[in-house]
Structure 1
Amino acid sequence: MNIDPQVRNAPLDTEALKQLNAKVSEVFRSLAIDKRRLPASQLSKRGIPAYVAEWVLEKVVPGQGELSPEEATKVLEWAARVIPGPSEQNIIKHKLAQGQTVKVLTPLQAEVQIKKGKEPERVAQLKLLGISDAYISDNLLEQHPDLLRQGMWGVVEIGALKDGAAVLSFQPMQASVNLTLYKEARKKFTLHEWRALLLTTLGFDPAAFTDEQQTFLLCRLLPLVQKNMHMMELAPKGTGKSFTYENISPKVRLISGGNISPAVLFVNNANGTWGILARFKVVVLDEVQTSKFEKPEEIVGGLKGYLANGKLTRGGLHETASDCGFVMLANITLDDEQRPVKNSLVEELPRFLRETAFLDRIKALIPGWELPKLSSKLLVGADSALTVGLKSDFFGDALIALREDLAAESYAARAVQLGGEKPYRRNEEAVRGIAAGLMKIQFPHGDVDPADFLTYCLKPAIQLRQGIWDELYALDSEYRQYEPRITQART
C-alpha cells in the first residue's frame, strides 16, 4: 500500500482516527487490542502491569471491541483464582503444606547458588507469594533463560517438597516479534497515523495532546530502542512520568523511592550477584528528589563511569559491560504559569546528582512541565476516537528488538552535523543518539523524508540535549568556552 505524498503529513481529525481503528486491526490482526478492554477489566487493581493484564485478557476472553459485562465478570473470577493478593500468601502456603498444587500468575526470578563444598542449588523467587527459595529444575531454566536474567511473568504451578516449595511448571507470557513484519506494517501508515497508533498503544488519547506534547510522550520510549540512552524527566506531580515505564515491558525495572545501594545498582561484592543495571534493558529511578542513597559518593562515582563507557564495576572486584538505559524521574516546583520556579532545574535534586561531570553524561532532559497532568480525559476511554492499539507485551519487545537495528544510527551519522566553530563532542553524540532513537520509534522501516527527519527527529533531539546543556552552561564556567545554543550546521 503506497501512501499519497499529499496526505503524508495531513493531521488526523476525529473521523480519520475512527477509520484508523479498522486499519490497525487489519494490519496487525491478533497483535492488536482495543485499549478500552483493559480499564474495563479492572485488572490494574490486582497490581499487575498493562503488558501482563492484556495477556490475561487475550488468554481468558479473546476478542475485539469493548469488554462486555459478562467478559469482565469472567476475567475477575479468573483473576481471583490465579492472581494472589497480599492477604492470600498464607492461604497459598497452607494449601502447599497440605500437599496441594497451586497455579498463580506471578513474576518468577531464578538464580544458581554455588557454595564451597556443596552441590549448586537452583533457587526461584516468587515475590508475590513471599517465597524466596523454591526449587526449580535445570530443564525450566534451559527453556527460559530470561528467568536467570531479569525474571519473567507467567502462570506458575507450585507444589511442596519435603524441604520446601517447588516450581513444577511454568507458562510464560510470550510475544513473538518479527521485526521485518513490524517494519513492513509501518509502511502502511502515514506518519501521523503511526504516531497516533503508538500513543494509543501506550494508553494515551492522541487527540488530547498537541504535536509537541505527543513528541515528548514518545521520547519516553528512547531508552527502549537505544542502547545506553540515559535521560532525565523533570515535571510537577501528577504528569504520569512513570506511567509508560511501569506498563511497557518486564525488561524495564522501575524503582520508586526507598533505599538505593551500590549492591542493588552495580554488583553485590559479597556474593558476586550483578545488580539491576546489568540485568535489565532500562532502569528507572522514580521520585529521585526523595530517594535515599546508601553511600552516595560510591553510587555517583560508579554511575559516572557507567554512563560514560557502559562498564559496571565496584571497587575493582567485578567488571562487566551493559547496554542498560538509565532514567531519572523527579518532581520539581512550578509557578502559577506552570514554569519551573528555580533558576536551576536540578536544584531540587540530591546534591551529589548536581555534579556537572555527572549531568554531562545524561544525554537528554524531557521538559515534563510542558505536559498536562494525567487525567482520565487524556487516556483512551469511551469518548476516544482511536481505541485500537498494539498489545503491550508485543510492542515492548518490538522496541527492544530495534536496539540491534543500526540503520538509523548510520542515517543520523550522515544527517546530523552541529553548528558552531567548536561543537562539544558529547552534545554531538547525544543529539545523534536521540535523533536515531526517534527515527527508530517513528520510522522503523527506514523510509524517512529529510524534512520529516528534521522536524520529528533532529529538532526534538536538539531540544532535549539543550535542556542538559543549559544546566551545564549555568553551573560550570568550563562549558562556556562553547556556544550556549546547540544548532544544526548550515548546509
Structure 2
Amino acid sequence: MKELDVKLNEHFGGKVVRKDLTKLVKGNAIVPTYVLEYLLGQYCATDDEETINQGVETVKSIIAKHFVHRDEAQIVKSTVREKGSHRIIDKISVKLNDVKDQYEASFANLGLKNIPISDDVIKEYQKLLSGGVWCILTLAYFSTDEKGSSPWIIENIKPIQVSNADLDEYKTARTKFTKDEWIDGLMQTIGLNPEEFTFRSKLIQLTRLVPFVENNYNLIELGPKGTGKSHIFSELSPHGILISGGEVSKAKLFVNNSSGEIGLVGYWDVVTYDEFAGKTKRVDRGLVDILKNYMAQKSFSRGTEVYGASASMVFVGNTDHSVPYMIKHSNLFDALPKDYCDTAFLDRIHAYLPGWEVQKLRNDMFTSEYGFIVDYLAEILKELRKEDRTNEYSKLFELSNSITTRDKTSIAKTYAGLAKIIHPHGQMNEAEAKEILDFAIENRKRIQKELCKIDETFEEVDFSYTVKSTGRTIQVETLEGIEHGIPKQSVEIKIDTNSSEAKAINVEPVNIELSEGQKIIRDNQSGISYGLLFGAYLIGATDVKVIDPYVRLPYQLRNFMEFAKLLSEQKDPEVDVKLHLVTSNNEDYIEGAKEAFEQMTYSLESIGILFSYEFDDFIHDRSIVMDNGWKIVLGRGLDIWQKTGGWYDINEYVQEKRICKACEVTFLKS
C-alpha cells in the first residue's frame, strides 16, 4: 500500500475502505455510492486482504438477495408473500394521509404505495417525509379479509446512515497528517486520483463539499459536460438531494400552501439544482423571488408564518460557449435562463466555481486507493456545520474597505468551509490560510465582475487584502481574467517586475523589450507557451545548455523536442546552434532515454541544431543558460503542463491550449 493508505488505516481503522470495491459490488444496481459504502463499511473497512475478499462476497450477496431492482419487483413481492417477511434495500418516501390519519410509505423500486408506517418511525426519521431516503427494512405480508386494509407490513426500518462519527476523534487524527496528505485522502474519498490533479484543481473539487459544512451556503458551478459537477451532490451524502432544475416548484422546494407540508429546504442540508442552465427553460418567476429571499434571509414564509431553514443551495449546469467567447460577447452567466439572470438573485450566490477548469474525467483520474467511507465523512461534515469559523481569516488578514458586506460574507463563508474541510483541527499557518483566502476571494470576485457587466449600477470592487504580519497588500485576480482579459492582436513580451502574474501586455506595434524579473504561472492557467514565456530570450544565442533532471518519460521528451523546435525558429538560419542537455536518469528509463537522445541528435542536426547530452545524478536546479548573457531559472523545468488527453486531444498539439501546473520562471542577466 501507499504510505497515505497505511496512515489512513492506522488512524481511521474501520472508517476507510478501498475505493475500487464499490465498482466490484455495484453490478447493475442503481444505488448511490454512500449506500454501497455503508455496506462495505460493515464488512470491508480493513486493510486485511482476506477479510476484504470475504467482505466483498458478503456485500455482493446482500445486494443480490436484498436490493430491489425495478425489473424484479414482482419476484421480490412474491418472495415476501411466500416467506412471510423479507429484508430489502429500497428508497422510501412517506406522506401523511389526513383522511385515514396515518402515515403511508411508497417504495421507489418495489412500486408499492400507501403502505402504513408507524408514527414512531416518522418521529425518529423525519427526513422520510421529503424526497425519499434509502433504507434497510423488513417487509412482511399478512393476508386479511378486512376491507381497505393492506397486506403489506413494515416490521422495522433503518435509514442507511453511519452513526459512530466522533468529531473529536476525527480532529485528533487529522493532526497526524500533513496538509497535502489530508487533501489527497479527501480526494481519494470522493473517488479521484490525487496524482492527476494540481493543488488548484483539488481546491475546486473540495469546494463542492463546502455546502455540506456551511449552513445557508449558495454555490454555482457552470462548465462543460462530463466533468462530474453533480456527482458529489448525488453520491456522497444522505444529507443532500439532487433535483432536476426543471422539476422545481415553490411547493416542492419551500412549502405546499394546500397541505401545509414543508418542502425540501426544511429537511435537507444541501439542495442541488441539476441541469440548471438552459436559456429556453421556462421558469416560475415567483420561485425566483422566493429563492432570492431565502438565500438572503435564511427563511421563507407561508401566509403569516415564517420558517427558518439552514439548507445550502447549489446550482450546477453546462455552459454553451467557451470562456473567451463569454468574456468577449456576453458574461459567465450566459447559459442561465433569463429569469435567473436577475442580478439580485446572482448577487446572493457566495461563490462561482470555474467548471471550465475541471478536465473531463478519464479512467486514470479515478482511484483504487483508500478513502473514508463516504457516509462517515458525510456525518463528520454535518457535525462541522455547527461550528462557526467565518471570522477566523480576520486574525491574519484585513479585507479592503471597498469590499461590500455581502462580498465579505461570501468570502468568509467560503473560507470557513474550506478551513473546516482541510484544517478541521483548526491548526494552519499563514501561508495555508492565504491559499484558502485567495481562492475564496477569486470565486466571489468572479460573480461581482459579471454583475458589473450585466448591470451598470453595480460598481467595480477592489478585491484586495492586507497581510497583517507584513503590511503587504495582495490583489486577487480571477484566472480567466488573467488569461483572456487582454486582446491578443499584438503582444509585447515584457517582464513586469511589480506584478505577481504572468501577463501578455497589449501594444502596437510589436516591440520586444527584455528585462530581468519573474513570471508566476498559476495552477490551471492556459494560454502559455514556451514562445510566450521565453522565446525572445533565445534570440542571438548560439550555445544553449538546458539543465533539467527529468527528461525521460514520453511527454517530457516531447517537451524537450518542442523547446528545440522553438530554438530553431528563433535562431539565425545561417548559424548552427549548440544545444546541450544535462539530465539525470535511473536504470528503469536510461536505455530508452539514450535511444531517444540518439534519434534526436540526427533529427536536430538537419535544422542546424547540434545536440549533445550528459547524465548527472546530482543536479537538482532547473535552468536554461545561454551565451547571449541570459539565464532562465525554471521552477519546474520544461515540465510546466498538466497531462493531456492523448493523441486525440488538441491540447497535445497546441501548447497554448494546455493547462499549466503552478510554477515560477525567473530571468537573470549576467
State the distance in 1 between where 2:398 and 2:43 align.
52
What is the TM-score normalised by the length of structure 2? 0.64
Deviation at 1:397, TM superposition (A): 1.0
2:106 is matched with which residue? 125
Taking a change above 3 Å as real, the CA distance of residues 31 and 60 of structure 1, as seen in their structure-2 partners, is closer
Query: Please, which of 369, 381, 393 is the counterpart of residue 375 of structure 2?
Result: 393
Where does residue 84 of structure 1 map in the other structure? 68
1:52 and 2:35 equivalent?
A: yes
What amino acid is the match of 2:33? A
TM-superposition CA deviations, 1:341-398 (whole Å, max 9, x none): 85311111110010101100011000011111012111103xxxxx111110000110
**1-structure distance, mates of 2:347, 2:374:** 33
Q: Does 1:478 align with 2:460?
A: no
Structure 1 counterpart of 2:432, one-letter code: D
- Tell me the CA shift for residue 74 of structure 1: 4.6
The residue type equivalent to 1:324 in the other structure is A
Change (3 A) 1:69 1:441: closer
Cα distance in 1 between the residues matched to 2:133 and 2:325: 40
Equivalent-residue separation in structure 2 for 1:278 and 1:289 (angstroms): 25
The SS at the match of 2:14 is helix
Maintained 8 Å contact 1:267/1:318: no
> In terms of mean alpha carbon deviation, does 56-65 or 26-35 score higher?
56-65
CA contact (8 A) 1:125 1:133 kept: yes
2:345 corresponds to which letter in structure 1?
Answer: F
Determine the structure 1 residue equivalent to 2:345: 358
State the AA in 2 paired with 1:486. F
Tell me whether 1:463 sits opposite 2:442 in the alignment.
yes
Cα distance in 1 between the residues matched to 2:222 and 2:228: 11
| 1:140 Cα deviation from its structure 2 partner | 3.0
Contact 2:241 2:270 in 1 (8 A): yes
CA drift of 1:335 comes to 3.9
Aligned to 1:288: 276
Deviation at 1:143, TM superposition (A): 4.4
Q: Which residue of 1 aligns with 2:434?
A: 454
Match status 1:445 vs 2:433? no
Deviations 1:45-71 (A, max 9, x none): 301111110122234556436797776
Cα separation, 1, equivalents of 2:70 and 2:293:
39
8 A Cα contact 2:85 2:138, kept in partner: yes
C-alpha distance in 2, partners of 1:400/1:235? 27
Distance of 2:279 and 2:65 partners within structure 1: 36
Aligned to 1:417: 398
Deviation string for 1:279-317 (max 9, x for gaps)?
Answer: 100001111124997761111011000011011225x36
Aligned twin of 1:346: 333
Does residue 12 of structure 2 align to residue 28 of structure 1? yes
> What is the correspondence of 1:150-165 to structure 2 with a 5 Å cutoff?
152-161=133-142, 162=144, 163-164=149-150, 165=152
Find 1:218's aligned residue among 181, 185, 206. 206
Partner of 2:314: 327
Structure 2 stretches lacking a partner, 5+ long: 472-670
Mapping 1:61-460, distance limit 5 Å: 63-64=46-47, 72=56, 74-96=58-80, 100-115=84-99, 120-148=101-129, 152-161=133-142, 162=144, 163-164=149-150, 165-175=152-162, 176-256=164-244, 258-290=246-278, 296-314=284-302, 316=303, 318-335=305-322, 343-381=330-368, 387-406=369-388, 408-420=389-401, 422-455=402-435, 457-460=436-439
Identity %: 28
How far apart in 1 are the matches of 2:305 and 2:180? 47
- How far apart, in 1, do the equivalents of 2:198 and 2:69 lie? 39
Q: Is the 8 A contact 2:212 2:382 kept in 1?
A: yes
| Residue of structure 2 in register with 1:4 after alignment | none
| Alignment match, 1:13 | none
The residue type equivalent to 2:134 in the other structure is: W
Largest Rg, 1 or 2: 2
**Matches of 1:199 and 1:442 in 2, distance apart?**
11
Q: Secondary structure at the match of 1:273?
A: coil
Gaps of 5+ in 1: 1-16, 382-386
Aligned with 1:132: secondary structure?
coil
- 1:7 corresponding residue in structure 2: none
Tell me, in whole angstroms, the C-alpha distance in 1 between the residues paired with 2:441 and 2:186: 22
1:183-205 CA distances to partner (integer Å, 9 max, x unpaired)? 11111111001100111111110
174-183 or 434-443: bigger deviation: 174-183
Contact 1:260 1:294 in 2 (8 A): no
- Distance in 1, matches of 2:304 and 2:416, equals 35
- Report the counterpart of residue 8 of structure 1 in structure 2: none
Over residues 419-465 of structure 1, what are the superposed CA-to-partner deviations in whole Å (9 max), with x where a residue is unaligned?
15x3211111100111111111111111111221011x100100110
- In 2: Cα distance, 1:370 partner to 1:260 partner: 28
Q: Which has the higher helix share?
A: 1
